[in-house]
Amino acid sequence: MRAWAPVDQSEHSRVGGKWRGYRTNHLLSPFVRCGKCNARMVGSRRRDPRSGNLVEIYRCPGKGQGGCGGIARVAAPIDAYVKALVIAEQQKIQLRHRLHPRAVPEHRLLQRKTELPFP
């Protein structure tokens, strides 16, 4: 039996990575879009005027960077909401598998329908 090679510690994940591709420090920064101009929002920080603490935000880039610069939202509630949606969807899938363990996945049904010879 062959043993697995140890993981190379020099490789980094894309989250906070310093290698090729986009550097992702914020959970949804590759996916969140501005509601005004549809530009890709970027993760950033700003000082909360009430508490004086730094707060993570998603903001639309300025006009010189392809956005409108008009929208910024606190990241924590958005991240929590999306995480809750993903977890709920995963729980529905697991429940469906428990209730119908032999059920064929939907994409397999579509594949079978296209494979049937039509008269």
Listed in sequence order, the DSSP H helices in 33-105 are: 75-99
Contact yes or no for 82/27 (Cβ under 8 A): yes
- Cα three-residue angle 21-58-88, rounded to 5 degrees: 90
Q: What is the pLDDT along the chain (119 residues), one digit of tens a residue?
A: 456 555 555 554 545 555 566 566 777 877 889 989 999 998 889 998 899 899 999 999 989 888 998 899 999 999 899 899 999 999 998 888 888 766 656 655 555 555 545 44
SS3 at position 45? strand
Which distant-in-sequence residues (6+ apart) come within 8 Å of 74 by Cβ? 55, 56, 57
Longest dimension (CA), the chain: 72
- Of 25, 40, 43, 36, which is closest to residue 71 (Cα–Cα)? 36
